[in-house]
Structure 1
Amino acid sequence: MNSKHQYVQLNDGHFIPGLGFGTYKPQEVSKSKTTEATKIAIEAGFRHIDCAYAYQVEEEVGLAIRSKIADDTVKREDIFYTSKLWSTFHRPELVQSCLKRSLKKLHFDYVDLYLIHIPTAMKAMEKCKDAGLARSIGVSNFNRRQLEMILNKPGLKFKPVCNQVECHVYHNQRKLLDFCKSKDIVLVAYGALGTQRYKQWVDQNSPVLLDDPVLGALAKKHKRSPALIALRYQLQRGVVVLAQSLKKSEIKENIQVFDFELTEEDMKVLDGLNRNFRYVAMPSMSDHPNYPFADEY
């Protein structure tokens, strides 16, 4: 299935597919599973692949993409690939070297989108775009105040095209979404299905999002899975959403998010599930001056 008609325009003129495939994996899962899952995702119709230097699987993801290019399933320009700058490379002189390391692992000439993984430096990111190493640049885990600091910087050359944040029915980011829309910045949702499996990041007593009875009732109504309801909710709000799985059946199911629509009433019911609950709160960073989650949004 080709999802060409589900693209969202970015403020620099490029287009991002509305549904992306996430490649972060728990440490206990073998890296080869990532290659396998990424191949399945591309075969199923995913064209937006989200990865990061810190995930330590860029070689495996690059291998999967290149193998699907080699067998003529896709061309490089069909794939929208996102990578992220990790916090150990935030000194301006290190930013391009981090991106170049990612490109070397991927065997790519450029990435489609390069994000600052945790709030910091923008100037050096602009140079990555100028050098043609990244087509678009954006941010991740920024709150409103941190976004405003970037937008108000004198001499800002390229404003971020997106802000990738945790976003799901238990934490729908309504205020941040409205702010981003007002500034022509796309919100990209990670953790849209809940993130219990990231054992090193998430309290295992957290509520299991996909077991929510409201999601279950809507899933029955639409004859879909709770996961598809949770993904569809984001798309209809104008959010680009990342779906992640290592299971072939789930990957193939997730791409079916374009095959149905939620009613206005359904959307209101899902809005009502919000409880501003974060799965990935990064408490170990809470005393850092750039910790993004102390503000309301």
Structure 2
Amino acid sequence: MTDTPTLALNDGRQLPQLGFGTWQIDEDKAADAVRTAVEVGYPMVDTAAIYQNERGVGEGLRDAGGIFLQTKIWNESQGFDRTKKAADKCLERLGRESVDMLLIHWPCPEKDLFTDSWRALIGLREEGKAKSIGVSNFREEDLRRVIDETGVVPALNQIELHPGFQQRALRAVHEELGIVTQSWSPLGQGGGMDNAAVKTIAEATGQPASAVILRWHMQHGLCAIPKASSRDHMAANFQALDFDLTGDQMAAIDALDSADGRMGPDPADFN
């Protein structure tokens, strides 16, 4: 696991650049899936309150040391007091006294509570319940607002990001502000692997198409958290650590970006 490259967070800590995502993994299957991911070599696991699998994830990590664990506060728990209570419930379900990273899952701009939630996360970090704190699905205006109002810059922003929706403008904002970009649905929910350009690169490198896409994320300095349901898929994804893409291959994937490539909700109106 020490061979997995890391990204420097703005709080002085290190984030593994490739992790295991658990979205849509049922509670009763989460423990086995996480144990398998750890056996394959994944040094990070991502979950969330809304995934309803934190107990299983915690069980799967019970005997695993040194795994970077992150979870997220769901929309209904926004606000200062509710966020702090929700975080305690997350820790209880995970069987942990702290997590490595705690995120606000969505900004929910209509609720207008994300700054209060961010203040709660700052407090949770000071209490030692979250070693690092960040956000998910935040837009530029949301990021600048929490920074302006609290003086604390999120360590990362986890956003939808894949070859068909590359978020270049927001990535530039992250670069300016010193925020790590973490990619959810990094494979485009599997769709990216069917692209002709990706298939051509996979054939040229002798690597799985999923590993090609994940390698593209890594060479752009992004952190990717693909989900996989089988050991074979987990291992195929993990091969992203084993090779490099050429400049031309990177450019071929860069060319797949689409302005209307978003697959998930729009943070502007998701509440």
TMscore range, shorter length = over 0.9
Q: Is 1:217 the counterpart of 2:218 in the alignment?
A: no
What does 1:44-55 align with in structure 2 at a 5 Å threshold?
Answer: 44-55=40-51
Gaps of 5+ in 1: 197-207, 292-297
1:253 corresponds in structure 2 to 236
What does 1:145-224 align with in structure 2 at a 5 Å threshold?
Answer: 145-153=141-149, 155-156=150-151, 158-195=152-189, 208-224=191-207
- CA positional deviation for 1:286: 6.0
Q: Is 1:281 the counterpart of 2:265 in the alignment?
A: yes
Q: Is 1:123 the counterpart of 2:119 in the alignment?
A: yes
- CA positional deviation for 1:3: 4.0
For the 8 Å contact 2:19–2:226, the answer to whether it is kept is: yes
2:251 corresponds in structure 1 to 268
TM-score by length of 1: 0.85
Q: For residues 65 and 217 of structure 1, what CA distance do their matches in structure 2 show?
A: 37
Q: For residues 224 and 16 of structure 1, what CA distance do their matches in structure 2 show?
A: 25
Q: Is 1:17 the counterpart of 2:1 in the alignment?
A: no
TM-score by length of 2: 0.92
- CA positional deviation for 1:146: 1.2
Q: For residues 3 and 173 of structure 1, what CA distance do their matches in structure 2 show?
A: 29
After the TM superposition, which segments of 4 or more aligned residues of structure 1 sit over 6 Å from their partners?
none
- CA positional deviation for 1:210: 1.5
For the 8 Å contact 2:216–2:250, the answer to whether it is kept is: yes
What do the CA deviations read for 1:97-144 (whole angstroms, capped 9, x no partner)? Answer: 111101111111100000000111311111111111000110000111
User: The residue matched to 2:174 in structure 1 has which SS?
Assistant: helix
CA RMSD of aligned residues (A): 1.5
2:93 corresponds in structure 1 to 105
Q: For residues 261 and 5 of structure 1, what CA distance do their matches in structure 2 show?
A: 14
2:69 corresponds in structure 1 to 81
Q: For residues 202 and 157 of structure 2, what CA distance do their matches in structure 1 show?
A: 29
Q: For residues 155 and 38 of structure 2, what CA distance do their matches in structure 1 show?
A: 24
Which residue among 130, 136, 140 is the counterpart of 1:140? 136
Change (3 A) 1:258 1:287: closer
- CA positional deviation for 1:182: 1.4
What do the CA deviations read for 1:121-177 (whole angstroms, capped 9, x no partner)? Answer: 311111111111000110000111111112222x42x31000000000000111111
What do the CA deviations read for 1:187-220 (whole angstroms, capped 9, x no partner)? Answer: 0000011227xxxxxxxxxxx3221111111110
* 1:159 partner letter: V
User: The residue matched to 1:132 in structure 2 has which SS?
Assistant: coil
* 2:203 partner letter: K
Change (3 A) 1:287 1:84: closer
Q: Is 1:240 the counterpart of 2:223 in the alignment?
A: yes
For the 8 Å contact 1:34–1:246, the answer to whether it is kept is: no
- CA positional deviation for 1:287: 4.6
For the 8 Å contact 1:193–1:210, the answer to whether it is kept is: yes
Change (3 A) 1:24 1:5: closer
User: The residue matched to 1:279 in structure 2 has which SS?
Assistant: coil
Change (3 A) 1:111 1:7: same
Change (3 A) 1:63 1:88: same
Gaps of 5+ in 2: 108-113
2:81 corresponds in structure 1 to 93
What does 1:29-68 align with in structure 2 at a 5 Å threshold?
Answer: 30-66=26-62
Change (3 A) 1:64 1:143: same
Q: For residues 139 and 47 of structure 1, what CA distance do their matches in structure 2 show?
A: 20
Change (3 A) 1:109 1:273: same
* 1:23 partner letter: T
Alignment identity in percent?
29
